[in-house]
Amino acid sequence: MKERLEALKQEALQELSGVQSQQELNDLRIKYLGKKGPLTEVLRGMGALSAEERPIIGQVANDVRAAIESVIEEKQAAYQQQETENRLRAEMIDVTLPGRPSEQGAVHPLSKVIQEIEDIFIGMGYTVAEGPEVEQDYYNFEALNLPKDHPARDMQDSFYITEEILMRTQTSPVQVRTMEKRKGEVPIKIICPGKVYRRDDDDATHSHMFTQIEGLVIDRNVRMSDLKGTLLQFVQEMYGKETRIRLRPSFFPFTEPSVEVDVSCAMCGGVGCRTCKQTGWLEILGAGMVHPRVLEMGGYDPKEYTGFAFGMGVERIAMLKYGIEDIRHFYTNDLRFLKQFLHL
């Protein structure tokens, strides 16, 4: 039996030396070390040996198995190493090749204009205040001198969620909330940026959603001249030092007196052109002195305090600044439009 085991060892090692693939290696492992292999058969016959021969033959059989397993493991490791190298070679990235260029993003033109406006007013001592877009009717209308039966509400036909909750039509509610929070303290100097919603038909100059920035100043002895000086400084910072403003009488329920504010046309310098319809002026915002009733509802004595407020559509400011003719361009996500502002 000892000779048979040695012959089996030599036969197995000879066949293993000629293996050409991992599949052949697996086949030989099963052939010699499997349950039906010759080595297993030899071990099954050890029961017929004497007690003295059994440990000797058992040791030889173990040596034969160990020798065969050692060669199989060595070749298995070599095949695995080769497989790993082949996979790494196939997945190799040539880092010397030029990279794939990626698109460079930029700040959206509306965001850029909002930042510019905020920077201008912060430089004048204002702070930025924000409030909810889903607003109570009280803050959106009633506290701004617009009771439920006021006809001026028709100008802001609104998106109501319930009878008392709606999508805000202006950022003026932030002014009311700020007055309540300050509880009669002065001065108040804030600007209120944010989205507003109205049931407008979308066209080149109107949108059911747009961005607005409003401002509020309350203190002792605030005058109309302070409002005009503030707005003049703003437009000259935004459009250039040569820009002029014009105030025209108007009506807003929450200010008295109220004005529409025009700027001299940047396209023609105020001479008159197609952009300004030959008038030399372009309307940009509404403003006025805070109505005494609004001051009272906000917790301020109108006999002691006065204030002014103003509101502007950011899209309107941006359209005039960059010569954009259609407000819808801001919301269509057209890269051809947005790329124009990449380096501004």
296 is in an annotated binding site: no
Residues 159-177 as b/e (b if ≥16 CB within 10 A, e otherwise) read eeeeeeebbbbbbbbbbbb
CA distance 325 to 142: 35
CA distance 109 to 334: 13
Answer for the pair 223, 194: CB distance below 8 angstroms, yes or no. no
* First vs last C-alpha separation in the chain: 93
Sign of CA dihedral 325, 330, 331, 332: positive
Cα pseudo-dihedral 215, 217, 222, 224, rounded to 10: 10
Backbone angles phi, psi at 61, to 5 degrees: -60, -40
Residue type, 170: Q
DSSP structure class, residue 253: T
Going by C-alpha positions, the residue among 232, 269, 262 that lies closest to residue 247 is 262
Count CB-CB contacts under 10 A for residue 201: 7
CA distance 262 to 205: 17
Binding site feature residues for Mg(2+)? 256
Binding site feature residues? 256
